[in-house]
Chains A and B, each alone.
Chain A
Amino acid sequence: MGSFCSRQKPYNEADAEENEQAEEIERRIARETKAEQHIHKLLLLGESGKSTIFKQIKLLFQTGFDEAELGSYTSVIHANVYQTIKILFDGAKELAQNESDSSKYVVSCENKDVGEKLSDIGSRLDYPYLTKEIADEIKTLWNDAAIQEAYSRGNILQVPDCAQYFMENLERLSETDYVPTKEDVLYARVRTTGVVEIQFSPVGESRKSGEVYRLYDVGGQRNERRKWIHLFEGVRAVIFCAAISEYDQMLFEDEMKNRMMETKELFDWVLKQACFEKTSFMLFLNKFDIFEKKVQKVPLNVCEWFRDYQPMASGKQEVEHAYEFVKKKFEGLYFQSTKPERVDRVFKIYRTTALDQKLVKKTFKLVDETLRRRNLIEAGLL
């Protein structure tokens, strides 16, 4: 009896504690799962422009960047400056060798040495701080006619979009106590690796109802996308950023591939993924400001997808006409890649210029309204 009793003693103290802990964990999981349901997850996909949108959301709906965060971008921006001038200088040399009218790409004698020096700096892993002297040298080189000519051929040289902005602000960027402004941060280019996320409350109506958004930005890596994409099943919406100004540019990773064609394939692939069957798609046709200027000089037909484009007018009307054409192409791609059963998912197209904070705010308000209405419709309340 005694031994029976002692064997029957159900739990000793350690076991009791463990069970208590296990139950506590279960409760926490249940609570958090419930809380998670009220968090609307948004996934940023696309070839370029995602991170800018990401930064804008941070600036608009969170507390923005604090001093430390702003400061952390200094080295990035300086790096961008060195990279840009190197690309331009090396590019000018290449064009001088390969182009028929080579003389206009030959850098003037005074600037040649500086150019070589800067090109050398640009190829290192570590960049020096951008001092006034170096900034002046870069400024002089930037103003060289040959470099300007090379800049006008920027689409084949992988010149980043931030080139002009940084070159125009060199004096400010090279101050000893330089702290990047919000705008500087928006222009800074750094390749995202891994996944970053921010959580925020949207504006207006939804704030009162306690709705929360969580935005994910995955890196631009092309490899093995199919392996991790399904982890995002159940996101409320995919925000797909397509830079419409890139119709005449080639990929950084593969200079034979047109960027717009790459975007087209990516969009097609994403639309067909089973995990996004019920997901709303918000297509941001981004970099409209660059598109506006480019379309009047470089015809859309240089991109294979747009080869059937026929210009209609000129000036502002032509820009609108070109934009509508591109929009219809994406629409056509959507309906082509979408099985009939899926056609009911939300699909909206927005014209964006990610660098313009006001526009991003307005655009996001509309995205928010659409998602809220969708919620109400699905709950049968509309």
Chain B
Amino acid sequence: MPQYQQPPSWRLEGGGQILDLETAVKDGILGGGGGGGGLGGAAGEKVDLKKMIEELEPVEDVPSVFICPISLEPMVDPVTLCTGQTYERSNILKWLSMGHLTCPTTMQELWDDAVTPNRTLHQLIHAWFSQHYLRFKKRSEDVQGRAAELLEILKKKVKGQARVQALKELQKMVVNHSSVQKTVADSGGIALLISLLGPFTSHAVGSEAIGILVNLSLDSEAMVNLMQPAKISLVVDMLNEGTIDTKINCTRLIEMLMGEKDFRSEIVSSLSLLAGLMRLAKDRRHPSGSWAGLSLLKTICSHERVRGLIVSVGAVSQLVELLPNLSQECLELTLQILDDLSTIPEGRVALKDCPQTIPNAVRLLMRVSESCTQYALSILWAVCKLAPDECASLAVEAGLAAKLLLVIQSGCSPELKQRSAELLKLCSLNYTATLFISKCKLTRTIQ
């Protein structure tokens, strides 16, 4: 009988894993010692295995042979059918209990409904996960260890470049490893970082500290601490002067603070903040920054008392002029902001005074989404109500009537249709019937 020759490299498919027999034995994956064990230890093993899978599956490339074809998850209790295909026990039993008598992957009819535990595969899966888990934990500890070191350095109050470099390194780690986030939080790192922020904090230090804080979950105490005027001033300064990443971090931090229950609108009633957000929103070179700026503005706009300030920095005309060039997400935000601003008298006046308001708003009706249409309509309504004689004709010339008819005939909500009808009526007041009807025809551009 010819000796069975194991091919020199026996490969497992999938992932970046190439397991050859030599390495597999050496690394203990294929038994050796107390490795696999029998089914006796199976229950205990399974629990550990579940935990390891949970932690590793998001970050590692699990070999495809370990994956259940039904759930696409790593198998904890692999069982094989008579067709030779292996599945997670609970999944295949469910399949069979639904009355199917076929093998899900091969579509063959099953001549035998027995389900055989695939002990070999189970052992391999367990061994692979154990090995990778150990490595993962070690790496994580290394990273956590380094993070703890960095925090010690910062606690010793180093100054200058040393401090900036420590913060930079810590920031990278916090972003890439969730375990570090916990380390920082547990060792008083949050309070330390917040204490670094004050009226004399340099931009270099402040921007790194904020870059770390936005990636941590801050408790109430930390948030209240951050809401001190001197610290907020610093954040606003950095929002005005920083790189695009710093600016985005600042907006995220402020949004976090605005969600806190002790938040008061005076904190964001800063002209510098609002002017800075407008500058960010208008920045064509950085769409992500633009979105961040608009998003925060929208959140701020929900506080009525700040709306007047927003109008006073000239936001209305700047936002209106932005409309034609925005992506859909930004468009909805911008229209919502303008709609909120139209609820105050100064906002309405600013909207009316800006020559682009009506044409841009009309153009956006029925163009993008129902909510965009709703906001645009609301804005037009506010403007036309304010100065019907002036604005109604402008609107009609811009093709408003035809658009309103579209809305009324569409599948939009009843309130929207009602509003459109009312606006249509308002606009038609100064026209004779025939003239108005001619304006209602869809022109080529609108089509």
Contacts and interface: CB of A to CB of B under 8 A. Distances in A.
A332 B200 contact: no
B209 to A, nearest CB: 15
Given A344-B279, A348-B237, A362 B200 contact: yes
A347 interface: yes
Given A320-B229, A328-B270, A348-B237, A369 B200 contact: no
A369 B203 contact: yes
Range of interface residues on chain A? 20 to 34
Range of interface residues on chain B? 20 to 34
B229 A340 contact: no
16 contacts: A204-B160, A320-B229, A320-B230, A328-B271, A331-B270, A331-B272, A335-B312, A343-B313, A344-B279, A362-B200, A363-B200, A366-B200, A369-B202, A370-B241, A373-B241, A374-B241
B344 interface: no
B145 interface: no
Which of B160, B271, B279 has the most CB atoms of chain A within a 10 A radius of its CB?
A: B271
A14 interface: no
A212 to B, nearest CB: 21
Interface in A15-61: none
A382 B272 CA distance: 21
B198 to A, nearest CB: 10
Given A328-B270, A348-B237, A335 B203 contact: no
A-B complex: 4 closest residue pairs judged by Cβ atoms: A362-B200, A335-B271, A324-B229, A331-B271
Nearest to B273: A331
B188 interface: no
A207 interface: no
Interface string B210-252: 0000000000000000000110010001000101000000000
A332 B203 contact: no
Interface string A295-317: 00000000000000000000000
A328 B270 CA distance: 7
A350 to B, nearest CB: 8
B275 interface: yes
Given A331-B270, A331-B272, A348-B237, A373 B312 contact: no
Contact of B275 (A324, A343, A370): A343
B242 to A, nearest CB: 9
Contacts of A344: 279
Interface string A332-372: 10110000100110111111000000000011011001100
Nearest to A349: B233
A320 B229 CA distance: 8
A366 B313 contact: no
A343 B314 CA distance: 11
Given A332-B271, A363-B200, A369-B204, 10 more contacts: A204-B160, A327-B233, A334-B271, A335-B271, A346-B241, A348-B237, A350-B199, A362-B200, A369-B203, A370-B241
